[in-house]
Structure 1
Amino acid sequence: MAEQLRLYSYWRSSAAYRVRIGLNLKGLAFETLPVHLVRDGGQQHAAEYVAKNPQHMVPTLQHGERVIRQSLAILEYLDEAWPSPRLLPMTARDRARVRALAHMVACDIHPLNNLRVLQYFEHTWNVPQAEREDWVKHWIVEGFTAVETLLAEDAATGVYCHGQTPGLADCCLVPQVFNARRFGVDMAAFPTLLRIEQACLALPAFDQARPENQPDANA
């Protein structure tokens, strides 16, 4: 698999952030192709990009001629194509736990506070900014309350979401904590999430993937 990896990304997209972490954990070199989600009405709507991703969303991973969409599908593709180090555990029971934690963030929390939802509220329904931000914080807090409980009460939780090595759930959790801070969520109620985030961000793979460390962060 010598084909070049290209990641269509936006510096502040938490979905793209997940994939950057996964690529870094795998030690894979990749080219970042920025797609600015706000400039020019959103570069994700440009015909050239829509031809690659008809959902008008990031991230998109191109591996040679293959194009993979959806962050969780991309991360599982990376895990199957480059099995070491693993993002998913060895046993079916443990994989189910990790996938459930990842899906709680990527499928239940994040979609309710991503850019296209907030833009629809603003431009179609004229929802004031304060109410939009209340919406975001409500769903992050509700989701994080459940994730905190599951992590804090399970012996399978270690330094990271599952055991002593970072994996798929951590790839999803850390970007969502970044989002929570953006919107002013009080994280004091989630000590387990904060502990895991701190452990993750101490690793170069997570640190290098931070939004502020991306080539398009100041664009």
Structure 2
Amino acid sequence: MASASVVVGVGEAEEEEEHNNKLILYSFWRSSCSFRVRIALNFKGLKYDYKPVNLLKGEQSHPEFLKLNPVGFVPVLVDGPAVISDSFAIIMYLEDKYPQHPLLPTDIHKRAINFQVVSIVSSSIQPLQNLSLLTYIEGKAGPDEKLSWVQSVIKKGFTALEKLLKEHTGRFATGDEVFMADIFLAPQIHSAFKKFNIDMTEFPTLSRLHETYYEIPAFREALPENQPDAAG
């Protein structure tokens, strides 16, 4: 009996340690930045606890959340004592700490193309279509102007991406393996289809990639509609 209780105790201790070491992701289901990180976590096979932050209810401005990220944006990743915000920083952290299924190629030219894609999506498209900016535009100029604005931003970025990727695509954005470019492209293309009514016939490369991403479990499981806080 004594030995059995010891075994149970060890098992409980291991379970508690595993729980304490589990990654925690603060996310909002519709956030494309959170979507990127979910794909990366899934692709690397990392388990995590999902903590929803409802941006529509202003939970990103609550004092407790601002302790994690004073800017008030999702996603935020907590890994023990480490607290990392900004999707690119989080994905680079995961790449450095968890090298399985690398998200960056060893070829330096191909790496540079990946970083260019990341930059276009994260600097030239996504910040110009985020919730706070679109809410501001709608308040000042109305919903029609909001949609016109976001469509022009996405089309400009997609035009650049089509030209950039023309000579580099294989099955995926920069060859036949999933890399960081794909992690950033998938949510942006998904939102263009689902949220902003972009005519994707102008962007055949991105449209083909969009279909390919749906074949990958790590991408499908990260879809907004598959998250625990998704609106019914």
Bin of the TM-score, shorter chain as denominator length: over 0.9
Q: Note if 1:62 corresponds to 2:82.
A: no
Measure, in 1, the Cα distance between the counterparts of 2:87 and 2:141.
29
Q: Quick check: 2:24–2:78 contact (8 Å CA) kept in 1?
A: yes
Partner of 1:173: 185
Number of equivalent positions = 213
Please give the per-residue CA displacement for 1:133-156, whole angstroms capped at 9, x wherever unaligned: 10000010011011011112x1x3
Using the size of structure 2 for normalisation, the TM-score is: 0.89
Larger gyration radius, structure 1 or structure 2: 2
State the 1:95 CA deviation.
1.2
The within-5 A match list for 1:2-21 is: 3-21=21-39
Instruction: Return 5+ residue gaps in structure 1 as ranges.
Output: none
Measure, in 2, the Cα distance between the counterparts of 1:73 and 1:194.
27
Q: Quick check: 1:136–1:183 contact (8 Å CA) kept in 2?
A: yes
**Once superposed, what is the RMSD of the aligned Cα atoms?**
1.4
Instruction: Return 5+ residue gaps in structure 2 as ranges.
Output: 1-17
Please give the per-residue CA displacement for 1:107-145, whole angstroms capped at 9, x wherever unaligned: 11111001011122234xx22001011000001001101
State the 1:168 CA deviation.
0.8
Q: 1:188 aligns with which of 192, 201, 205?
A: 201
Measure, in 1, the Cα distance between the counterparts of 2:86 and 2:172.
23
State the 1:97 CA deviation.
1.1
Q: 2:41 aligns with which of 23, 37, 46?
A: 23
Amino acid at match of 1:53: N
Please give the per-residue CA displacement for 1:62-95, whole angstroms capped at 9, x wherever unaligned: 0011001110111111111111211011132221
Partner of 1:90: 106
Stretch deviating more after TM superposition (10-19 or 173-182): 173-182
State the 1:46 CA deviation.
0.3
The within-5 A match list for 1:1-219 is: 3-39=21-57, 42-123=58-139, 126-152=140-166, 154=167, 156-181=168-193, 182-218=195-231
Q: Quick check: 1:5–1:30 contact (8 Å CA) kept in 2?
A: yes
Amino acid at match of 2:73: M
Secondary structure of 2:159 counterpart: helix
Secondary structure of 1:55 counterpart: coil
Measure, in 1, the Cα distance between the counterparts of 2:141 and 2:96.
43
Q: Quick check: 2:154–2:192 contact (8 Å CA) kept in 1?
A: yes
Measure, in 2, the Cα distance between the counterparts of 1:197 and 1:178.
7
Secondary structure of 2:25 counterpart: strand
Measure, in 2, the Cα distance between the counterparts of 1:144 and 1:60.
27
Percent identical pairs in the alignment equals 42
Find runs of 4+ consecutive structure 1 residues off by over 4 angstroms.
none
Q: Quick check: 1:166–1:200 contact (8 Å CA) kept in 2?
A: no
Amino acid at match of 1:134: S
Using the size of structure 1 for normalisation, the TM-score is: 0.94
Please give the per-residue CA displacement for 1:136-190, whole angstroms capped at 9, x wherever unaligned: 00010011011011112x1x32111111111111111111112212111111111
Stretch deviating more after TM superposition (4-13 or 195-204): 195-204
Amino acid at match of 1:218: A
Measure, in 2, the Cα distance between the counterparts of 1:43 and 1:159.
39
